[in-house]
Structure 1
């Protein structure tokens, strides 16, 4: 498989770029920084300092703010996704993973270190409820009606269901050792079992594991392609990226992607941008051919996001 590595040129001080270029945001958890890249030139446009340890990010429901969670710094940064400008910072207790409910009413924050799941009012960030969860709340997925959030608990090897209406734990069920990424897909929960080599398919009604999708050691997380025609899953330890059929949940193909692939973002042209956690790089993958190139970023890149180019006037 053809691949090539790119070295970035000297960072620019200003976010000067062609208006047609996508922006790629990369969270360097080991460098306490947010890297902003021009997707066309692959040049570094900006490096935004964080307090300590950035891991995950999410776009606000109105599309105006990119929220970046600094878990070690106990804050969330609000960025203008088009310019990379930091609009404000909010003090939040140990935000590791975060996401908005489908109805836009709640912001849910998982605290891996403090064993808590916090539910905030999405409008004013008022804390509505704090649940102590055993142990290591990691990733989350929502039921489509926005009433229930499902959280992986790495330390206990379980998935917990939390009501966003009553703000109480509804149930907890075993899924496998060190569960990580989780997604709701056609009435099922697909969970990366990081302490093993497969993704578990859980029925949230019966709490039963209905099947396993083998991928490789360190099965980590799964993302739905924007057009719904594929799921993409990563194996951090065995360094694999897998395309999964959304109907059958069979693995269509596996791309060997050295460096510990972790999070994935999709650009408007359908390419995948993947963080390589152990290599200090990201990969740009062509899903049609499986070919990829790598770009050096910072230490331990984790979350990634692509801001589409602005429409030409």
Structure 2
């Protein structure tokens, strides 16, 4: 327990040991890499290699690591990264550990990346291809969604082990962990629900209805409000997580994908993949404005404190920097592959 407390303290103190500038991490899919970008200047800092088919990516300001998920299954056994000794690797991947997840599920890899050295320090086998990941604000837990296995895995970021499996529903897509770091919300695109998951006990507390095929989500901190992009109906649903009720829905009338909130919580930016646009929803008035952007806007991630969001393209290896107030692109970043779940941390 003392060791765990010491490690947890080191995680929580990480923010004070690194530069406080915004750093952007962009997974490059088939390029098997993550691009590291300075959030202020937009200049490339580094590229983290060796992350096969990286799609899901998450991090937290207090944590010294990123969690990267591979969107392909593999039959290979987990190999130790070059920076990890054989004894240390064996200690984290003992042969006597029971498999976690449904019987017959394929295997995939979650990679733990050290943010300072930008090296892979652990590879963890998980049950099934990883779509998206989420990290708790306190840096203790990570969650990975597995659409092919109809559930999520829960990873302890102190022991670097899979400590739980939760069957949330058909085709779980996206996950968000709330500010308590004890609850995850998971969209299930196969049955139109969002699951509320207890991370410590690894079970679904309840399911909430959210359209036909809910995918990406954004949470408004301190309000108990969750915004869910429904690719099946081209609508964004505003959920009250306390009651599970749909408070409002916003019609985009085209295929939508990623979304994120402005810093002040007054605007919601939505990638309108089906009609090459970005939609800005005024959450006070409920009005929706669309601005041309293309081809095929995809993932959306805000750069906290800048008044800007990042929007990747599903068609081309590029990311636009969008001014939230005007909805216009102010910069474009070139990638080595399609940009997926982007992360911005200090």
- In the superposition, the TM-score normalised over structure 1's length comes to 0.79
- Tell me the equivalent position of 1:136: 171
Q: How many equivalent pairs are there?
A: 288
Matches within 5 A, 1:21-170: 23-37=23-37, 44=44, 46-60=46-60, 62-72=62-72, 74-81=108-115, 85-93=118-126, 94-170=129-205
Matches within 5 A, 1:227-246: 227-246=264-283
1:264-299 deviation per Cα after TM superposition (whole angstroms, max 9, x unaligned) = 241653332211112221112233443313333233
CA contact under 8 A between 2:229 and 2:258: conserved in structure 1? yes
Task: Give 3-state SS (helix, strand or coil) of 2:158's partner.
Answer: coil
1:157-185 deviation per Cα after TM superposition (whole angstroms, max 9, x unaligned) = 22122222432122223322221012333
Task: Give 3-state SS (helix, strand or coil) of 2:306's partner.
Answer: coil
- Does 2:255 correspond to 1:218? yes
- Higher RCO, Cα 8 Å, sep 6+: 1
Change (3 A) 1:217 1:110: same
Greater helix fraction, Structure 1 or Structure 2: 2
| C-alpha distance in structure 1 between counterparts of 2:275 and 2:219, whole Å | 24
**How far does residue 42 in structure 1 lie from its aligned partner after superposition?**
5.6
Structure 1 residue runs of 5 or longer lacking an equivalent are 1-18, 309-313
Change (3 A) 1:251 1:50: farther
Change (3 A) 1:119 1:188: same
Greater strand fraction, Structure 1 or Structure 2: 1
- Tell me the equivalent position of 2:209: 174
CA contact under 8 A between 1:216 and 1:238: conserved in structure 2? no
Cα RMSD (Å)? 2.9
CA contact under 8 A between 1:216 and 1:237: conserved in structure 2? no
- In the superposition, the TM-score normalised over structure 2's length comes to 0.72
Task: Give 3-state SS (helix, strand or coil) of 1:299's partner.
Answer: coil
CA contact under 8 A between 2:296 and 2:315: conserved in structure 1? yes
